[in-house]
C-alpha cells in the first residue's frame, strides 16, 4: 500500500492535541540530561509553525515562517501524535462504532497531513538540495508509519467488526463509503497477511519508497543539467522571434549573456523541435530529452526502475495477485488489465495506421525538398508543422499572440462563471511560497466563499517538469464548520520576455484548462470527510473532470472571451478559429500512438508475473517491438524518465487518461446534443452528481446517474478522427 493510500485512502488525518507541551507528571527517574533534551525538543516544537493554528487569512500556510529545519521534527512528532491517537482507538474498551473508530481514525493525522501537504507541495514546485535530502529521510519514515497503521491488527479488528455489520449501523451514504474504503484499504495494505509476510511487506514498501524518491530526483537533475547553447544567429534559423527572445532570456538567467539557451523544459524544447531548421540541433535536444536517466552516470535510472518493477511484482504475489497491474486495477474502474487492453486495442490499430499516413505526408515534403534523408523521431514536429501549414494554412506562431497567459487564465475563470456562477478575485496580500505565485478568493454564485486558488505557472530550476494540481488543505466539514479548500495549480508555461508577455502555444492553453479542471474538482467539493473529498477518486476517474474542461478551449463562444491579441486586444479572427478547429484532428495518429505506447509500456512493466530483474533497455525494446511501434515515434515517456509510474501514483495506471477521455468525450457530447455548450441544467447536474461528490460514491454509479447510461466510446473515436 502506498503512502497516499494509507494517509488519504485510509482516511488517516490527525489528533489535535498539543503533546509537545511538557508533562508535569513525568516520572522522577528521568536524568537531568533526558529532561534537558525533552525541554529542548519541547521548545523547538513549540516554535514550529505546524504545531499552532495558522495565524493567516483562510488558514493558508504561513510560508514565510516555515523553514526547511521545521519539516523533519514536525513529521516525527506528528507521527508520534497519530500513533498515540491510534493506540487510544485500539485500547478503547467500548464496542467499536463509527465515531470511536472510523471518525477517530479519520481525524487522527491532521497534523501529519498539514506538514506533508506543505512539504510535498514545495518539494515539487520550489525544491533545492536541502529539501531533496529531507525527502530522502522523510520517505522511509512515512512508509514505515503507513505500514504500522495498515498492519495494526487491533485497529483492523475494530474496522472489520464494523464493516461486517455495515448495513445495520444506520450510516449515511458517505459514512458507509468511508467505512468501506477504510476496510478495503486495510485489506489492500496487508492486514490479512501472516506476521512473516507483514514483515516482508514492510521491507518492500520502504525500499520502493526510497527508490521512487531517487528516481524522481534523478530526472530533475538530468532536466536541469542539460543546455543547448547556441552562439550564432545562424543557429536560430526558423525560430520565431518569441522563441529567440525566450532563448536569450534563459541564457541570461544561466550566465550565458549574448547567447541563446534551450532546455528540456517543454516550453523551451517543444517549439525548438517545431521550428528549428537545423536538423543536428533538433537531434541533439531530442536525444537529450529521451535519454534522461539513461546516460550511465550518477543519475541513471535503469537499475532503479528495474528493481522497482521486481519489488512490485513481489508485493503483488505476496498480496495474492498475479501481477502489480492486477493488484492496482482491482481497485479502479477498469477492474482488470484485460479490460484496459481491450480499450487500447479498440484505438491502437487505427491510431498506428493514421501515424503511418502522417509519416508518408512528412516524407513527401522531405523528398520534395531534396532532403536526402528518412524521417526520424526528432524530425516529426518540424515536418508536422510544415504539413499543417500546407493542409490547413495553420501556423502555430500566428496563434500565439492571441493566447496570452493572463487572458487564458481569465478565460477559464469566465467559463466557470458561465457554467457554475463562480467568481475569482485576486488577492495580493496573502501568504505564498514563491514570488511568482498568484492567489484568488473563489466565491459561489450566492456570494459565499468556496475556497482559495493559487497558481504558479513558469518553469524554474527548483520545479519539476509538467503541470499538476494539488492542495494545501482539502475541503471537509467538522463540528458544523465547512472547512474551505486551499487548492493550487503548478505549470511550466513560457515565461514573459523583455518585449512580450507570456504567450502560449494552443496546446499549452489546453493544458492550463486541463489542470484547472482538477482544481475545479477540489474547489467544488462538498463532502464531510477530507479523505473522500475533491480528487479522492479512483485513478482512472480522476482525469475525467480535468479532461472535460479541454473541450471548451477551442469553442468559438469561449475563444471570444479570452483569445485576444496581446498588442491590439483584437479577438482572434474567425478564420484563425476555423483553422484551429480544422486542424484539431491533425497529427492525431502521432498524439494517440505516442500516448498509447506509453500506456502499453506501463502495463508491460506491471503485468510481470515473476520478480526477476530485467535489463531495462532490452525489456523496453522488446515491448516496443511487440506493440509494433514505428521507428519515427517514441512513447510519450521512455522508462527511465517515466515519472508517472516510477515516481508518482500512476503505476499500472497511465491508461487512465484515455479511460477518462471516454467519459469526458461522452459528457461533452451531452452538452452538444442539448444545443448549448453552457447548458445550465447539465452544468448544475454535472456539479451536483460528479464534481461535488468526490469519492463519496462509486464512480460508475455516479456517471450513470449523471448521463443516464454507461459511457460510450464512439464520441472519443469521432473526436480524434480515428473512425
**pLDDT single digits (tens) 358-367:** 999 999 999 9
Distance CA 633, CA 593 (A): 8
Clarify whether residues 178 and 235 are in a common domain. Answer: no
Name the grid cell of 388: 499543417
Name the grid cell of 188: 489492500
Strand 486-490 with 449-456, pairing: parallel
Clarify whether residues 157 and 239 are in a common domain. Answer: no
DSSP 8-state assignment for residue 6 = I
CA-nearest of 609, 606, 616, 617 to 304 is 616
Task: Please state the φ and ψ torsions of residue 498, each to the nearest 5 degrees.
Answer: -65, -30
Residue 35 lies in a domain: yes
Residue 680 lies in a domain: no
- Give the list of residues 6+ apart from residue 602 with CB closer than 8 angstroms, or none: 642, 644, 645, 650, 651, 652, 653, 654, 655
Query: Quick check: 9 pLDDT over 70?
Result: no
Query: Quick check: 482 pLDDT over 90?
Result: yes
Name the grid cell of 294: 539513461
Indicate the number of domains in the chain. Answer: 3
Task: State mean pLDDT over 231-236.
Answer: 97
Q: What is the CATH number of the domain that holds 145?
A: 1.10.1370.40
Written as one string, the DSSP assignment of 436-497 is T-EEEEEE-TTS-EEEEEEEE-S--TTS-SS-EEEEEE--EEETTEEE--EEEEE--PPPP-
- Give the list of residues 6+ apart from residue 635 with CB closer than 8 angstroms, or none: 594, 597, 598, 600, 601, 624, 629
Clarify whether residues 232 and 166 are in a common domain. Answer: no
CA-nearest of 307, 288, 325, 145 to 214 is 307
Distance CA 445, CA 422 (A): 6
pLDDT for 31: 45
For residue 386, CA distances in Å to 368, 523, 667 come to: 12, 41, 34
Task: State mean pLDDT over 334-347.
Answer: 94
For residue 664, CA distances in Å to 103, 524, 549, 580, 713 come to: 34, 18, 9, 20, 10
Task: Please state the φ and ψ torsions of residue 526, each to the nearest 5 degrees.
Answer: -140, 70
Query: Quick check: 120 pLDDT over 60?
Result: yes
pTM for the full predicted model: 0.88
Do 228 and 264 meet the contact criterion of CB atoms below 8 Å apart?
no
Dihedral of alpha carbons 560, 565, 570, 573, sign: negative
Can you say whether residue 599 is alpha, beta or left, with left for phi > 0 and alpha for psi between -120 and 50 degrees? alpha
Clarify whether residues 455 and 577 are in a common domain. Answer: yes
Name the grid cell of 615: 535489463
Distance CA 77, CA 338 (A): 44
- Give the list of residues 6+ apart from residue 242 with CB closer than 8 angstroms, or none: 397, 400, 494, 497, 500, 503
Written as one string, the DSSP assignment of 200-235 is HHHHHHHHHHHHHHHHHHHHHHHHHH--EEE-SGGG
CA-nearest of 355, 383, 367 to 635 is 355
pLDDT for 13: 27
Task: Please state the φ and ψ torsions of residue 260, each to the nearest 5 degrees.
Answer: -130, 130
Name the grid cell of 454: 493559487
Clarify whether residues 422 and 476 are in a common domain. Answer: yes
pLDDT for 43: 64
Residue 104 lies in a domain: yes
Task: Please state the φ and ψ torsions of residue 636, each to the nearest 5 degrees.
Answer: -55, -35
Catalytic member of 515, 620, 632, 661 = 515
Query: Quick check: 23 pLDDT over 50?
Result: no
Encode pLDDT of 280-292 as tens digits.
Answer: 999 999 999 999 9
Q: Final residue of a domain: which of 538, 563, 585?
A: 585
Clarify whether residues 424 and 555 are in a common domain. Answer: yes
Clarify whether residues 187 and 255 are in a common domain. Answer: no
602, HSE (Cβ side, Cα atoms, 13 Å): 34
Do 250 and 220 meet the contact criterion of CB atoms below 8 Å apart?
no
Q: Buried (b) or exposed (e) across 311-342, using 16+ Cβ within 10 A?
A: bbbbbbbbbebebbbbbbbebbbbeebeebbe
Clarify whether residues 178 and 258 are in a common domain. Answer: no
Range of the domain at 566: 400-585
Residue 176 lies in a domain: yes
CA-nearest of 32, 81, 2, 664 to 324 is 2
For residue 95, CA distances in Å to 159, 181, 327, 363 come to: 11, 21, 33, 74
Give the percent of the chain with pLDDT over 90. 87
- Give the list of residues 6+ apart from residue 136 with CB closer than 8 angstroms, or none: 210, 213, 214, 217
CA-nearest of 507, 526, 544 to 711 is 544
pLDDT for 40: 55
Name the grid cell of 89: 482507538
Is 515 one of the annotated active-site residues of the chain?
yes
Encode pLDDT of 521-564 as tens digits.
Answer: 999 999 999 999 999 999 999 999 999 999 999 999 999 999 99
pLDDT for 720: 86
Query: Quick check: 209 pLDDT over 80?
Result: yes
3-class DSSP string for 254-291? CCCCCCEEECCCHHHHHHHHHHCCCHHHHHHHHHHHHC
Q: Final residue of a domain: which of 290, 319, 343?
A: 290
**Could you give the strand order of the β-sheet that contains 449-456, starting from the edge strand earlier in sequence?**
423-427, 438-443, 449-456, 486-490, 468-473
Name the grid cell of 206: 520502504
Strand 476-478 with 481-483, pairing: antiparallel
CA-nearest of 152, 376, 187, 390 to 283 is 376
Distance CA 108, CA 212 (A): 27
Do 595 and 720 meet the contact criterion of CB atoms below 8 Å apart?
no
Residue 254 lies in a domain: yes
Residue 38 lies in a domain: yes
Query: Quick check: 27 pLDDT over 50?
Result: no
Clarify whether residues 17 and 126 are in a common domain. Answer: yes
Residue 299 lies in a domain: no
Encode pLDDT of 70-85 as tens digits.
Answer: 999 999 999 999 999 9
Clarify whether residues 185 and 241 are in a common domain. Answer: no
Residue 275 lies in a domain: yes
Distance CA 416, CA 438 (A): 18
Distance CA 95, CA 114 (A): 30
The count of residues in the chain is: 723
Q: Final residue of a domain: which of 290, 310, 330?
A: 290
pLDDT for 717: 87
Task: State mean pLDDT over 672-691.
Answer: 98
CA Rg value for the chain: 26
Distance CA 252, CA 495 (A): 13
Task: State mean pLDDT over 145-171.
Answer: 97
- Chain mean pLDDT for the chain: 92
Query: Quick check: 33 pLDDT over 50?
Result: no
Clarify whether residues 48 and 157 are in a common domain. Answer: yes
Query: Quick check: 28 pLDDT over 90?
Result: no
Clarify whether residues 472 and 536 are in a common domain. Answer: yes
353 compared with 43, residue with greater pLDDT: 353
Encode pLDDT of 263-278 as tens digits.
Answer: 999 889 999 999 999 9
Dihedral of alpha carbons 407, 409, 411, 414, sign: negative
Amino acid at each position: 500500500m502506498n503512502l497516499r493510500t494509507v494517509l488519504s485512502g485510509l482516511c488517516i488525518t490527525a489528533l489535535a492535541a498539543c503533546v509537545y507541551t511538557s508533562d508535569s507528571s513525568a516520572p522522577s527517574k528521568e536524568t537531568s540530561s533526558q529532561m534537558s533534551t525533552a525541554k529542548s525538543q519541547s521548545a523547538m516544537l513549540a516554535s514550529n509553525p505546524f504545531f499552532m493554528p495558522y495565524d493567516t487569512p483562510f488558514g493558508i500556510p504561513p510560508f514565510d515562517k516555515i523553514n526547511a529545519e521545521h519539516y523533519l521534527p514536525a513529521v516525527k512528532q506528528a507521527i508520534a501524535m497519530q500513533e498515540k491517537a491510534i493506540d487510544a482507538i485500539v485500547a478503547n474498551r467500548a464496542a467499536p462504532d463509527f465515531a470511536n473508530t472510523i471518525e477517530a481514525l479519520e481525524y487522527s493525522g491532521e497534523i501529519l497531513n498539514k506538514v506533508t501537504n506543505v512539504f510535498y507541495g514545495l518539494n515539487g514546485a520550489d525544491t533545492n538540495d536541502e529539501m531533496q535530502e529531507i525527502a530522502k529521510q522523510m520517505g522511509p519514515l512515512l512508509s514505515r508509519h503507513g505500514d504500522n497503521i495498515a498492519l495494526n491488527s487491533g485497529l483492523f479488528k475494530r474496522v472489520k467488526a464494523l464493516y461486517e455489520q455495515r448495513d445495520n449501523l444506520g450510516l449515511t451514504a458517505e459514512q458507509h463509503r468511508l467505512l468501506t474504503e477504510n476496510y478495503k484499504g486495510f485489506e489492500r495494505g496487508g492486514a490479512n497477511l501472516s506476521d512473516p509476510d507483514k514483515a516482508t511487506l514492510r521491507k518492500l514498501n520502504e525500499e520502493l519508497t526510497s527508490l521512487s524518491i531517487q528516481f524522481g530526483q534523478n530526472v530533475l537533475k538530468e532536466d536541469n543539467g542539460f543546455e543547448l547553447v547556441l552562439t550564432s544567429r545562424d543557429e536560430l534559423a526558423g525560430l520565431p522571434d518569441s522563441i529567440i527572445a525566450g532563448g536569450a532570456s534563459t541564457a541570461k538567467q544561466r550566465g550565458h549573456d549574448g547567447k541563446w539557451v534551450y532546455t528540456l523544459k517543454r516550453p523551451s524544447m517543444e517549439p525548438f523541435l517545431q521550428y528549428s531548421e537545423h536538423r543536428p540541433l533538433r537531434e541533439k535536444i531530442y536525444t537529450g530529452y529521451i535519454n534522461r536517466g539513461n546516460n550511465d552516470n550518477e543519475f541513471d535510472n535503469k537499475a532503479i526502475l528495474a528493481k522497482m518493477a521486481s519489488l512490485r511484482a513481489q508485493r503483488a504475489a505476496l498480496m495474492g495477485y498475479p501481477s502489480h497491474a492486477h493488484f492496482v486495477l482491482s481497485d479502479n474502474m477498469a477492474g482488470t488489465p484485460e479490460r484496459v487492453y481491450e480499450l487500447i486495442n479498440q484505438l491502437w490499430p487505427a491510431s498506428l495506421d493514421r501515424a503511418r499516413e502522417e509519416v508518408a505526408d512528412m516524407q513527401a515534403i522531405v523528398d520534395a525538398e531534396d532532403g536526402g534523408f528518412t524521417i526520424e523521431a526528432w524530425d516529426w514536429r518540424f515536418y508536422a508543422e510544415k504539413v499543417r501549414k500546407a493542409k490547413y494554412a495553420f501556423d502555430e506562431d500566428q496563434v500565439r499572440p492571441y493566447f496570452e497567459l493572463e487572458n487564458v487564465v481569465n478565460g477559464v475563470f469566465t467559463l466557470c462563471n458561465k457554467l457554475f456562477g463562480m467568481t475569482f478575485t485576486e488577492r495580493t496580500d496573502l501568504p505564498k511560497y514563491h514570488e511568482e505565485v498568484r492567489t484568488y478568493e473563489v466565491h459561489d454564485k450566492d456570494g459565499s466563499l468556496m475556497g482559495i486558488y493559487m497558481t504558479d505557472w513558469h518553469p524554474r530550476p527548483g520545479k519539476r517538469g509538467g503541470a499538476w494540481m494539488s492542495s494545501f488543505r482539502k475541503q471537509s466539514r467538522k463540528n458544523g464548520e465547512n472547512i474551505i479548500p486551499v487548492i493550487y495549480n503548478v505549470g511550466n508555461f513560457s515565461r514573459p520576455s523583455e518585449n512580450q508577455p507570456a504567450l502560449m502555444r494552443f496546446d499549452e492553453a489546453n493544458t492550463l484548462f486541463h489542470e484547472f479542471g482538477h482544481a475545479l474538482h477540489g474547489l467544488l467539493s462538498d463532502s464531510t470527510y477530507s479523505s473522500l473529498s475533491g480528487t479522492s477518486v479512483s485513478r482512472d476517474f480522476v482525469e475525467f473532470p480535468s479532461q472535460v474542461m479541454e473541450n471548451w478551449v477551442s469553442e468559438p463562444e469561449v475563444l471570444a472571451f479570452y483569445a485576444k491579441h496581446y498588442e491590439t486586444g483584437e479577438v482572434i479572427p474567425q478564420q484563425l478559429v476555423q483553422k484551429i478547429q480544422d486542424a484539431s484532428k491533425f497529427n492525431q495518429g502521432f498524439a494517440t500512438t505516442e500516448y498509447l505506447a506509453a500506456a502499453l509500456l506501463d502495463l508491460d512493466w506491471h503485468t510481470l508475473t515473476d520478480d526477476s530483474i530485467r535489463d531495462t533497455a532490452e525489456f523496453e525494446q522488446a515491448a516496443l517491438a511487440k506493440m509494433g511501434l514505428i521507428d519515427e515515434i517514441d512513447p510519450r515517456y521512455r522508462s527511465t524518465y517515466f515519472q508517472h509510474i516510477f515516481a508518482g501514483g500512476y503505476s499500472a495506471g497511465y491508461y487512465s487518461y484515455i479511460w477518462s477521455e471516454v467519459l469526458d468525450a461522452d459528457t461533452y457530447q451531452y452538452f452538444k446534443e442539448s444545443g448549448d455548450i453552457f447548458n445550465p441544467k447539465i452544468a448544475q447536474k454535472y456539479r451536483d452528481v460528479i464534481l461535488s461528490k468526490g469519492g463519496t460514491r462509486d464512480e460508475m454509479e455516479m456517471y450513470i446517474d449523471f448521463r443516464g447510461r454507461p459511457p460510450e466510446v464512439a464520441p472519443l473515436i469521432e473526436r480524434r478522427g480515428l473512425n
